Structure 1
């Protein structure tokens, strides 16, 4: 399997859909489904009936997964969307922002 280009904790930009242009941090990566969950993006509302655990019921707002093709890594230098390149530095494989050449992994 290839190295993951987008990981948990990365700052990303949404490229398409209703949240196009929004920035956020990846809170969860789902590599088998090819999806990521981004904080503050793609918020869905579910109507919940009152239950034993939630006696009040009401509206529940959660973040739904986005397809990985709809997000791109945010360039550390400019804050714009960028592609990711891999390089070997000091014997370690690291991620590099293609737009500016900045190191993504610390």
Structure 2
């Protein structure tokens, strides 16, 4: 007796199986969290702890959950990079003004 092996239908079938695109759409819509910790101890002394957290979700779902750290990371967001550069520029301008003011006071006190 032989049985024919059946490959799964890539586009889903009437029996309810889903394809990868359907599964990915569901995961991104609902979100999934995977968490784990790695601890390395030597003679009951904790040497290293690594906490891993992985969240897979769409950007809209992540924002719904209050996760939007990429918007403030200069490495990932051009807006954040511009804000960071503007803050640095303002700080440098303030410092230059302070130095110019201090130099002006010094010149007035010590006439040459």
The reply to whether TM is greater than 0.5 is: no
TM-score by length of 2: 0.22
- Structure number with the higher helix fraction is 2
Which fold has the larger relative contact order, with Cα–Cα distance below 8 Å and residues 6 or more apart in sequence?
A: 1
- Structure number with the higher strand fraction is 1
TM-score by length of 1: 0.22
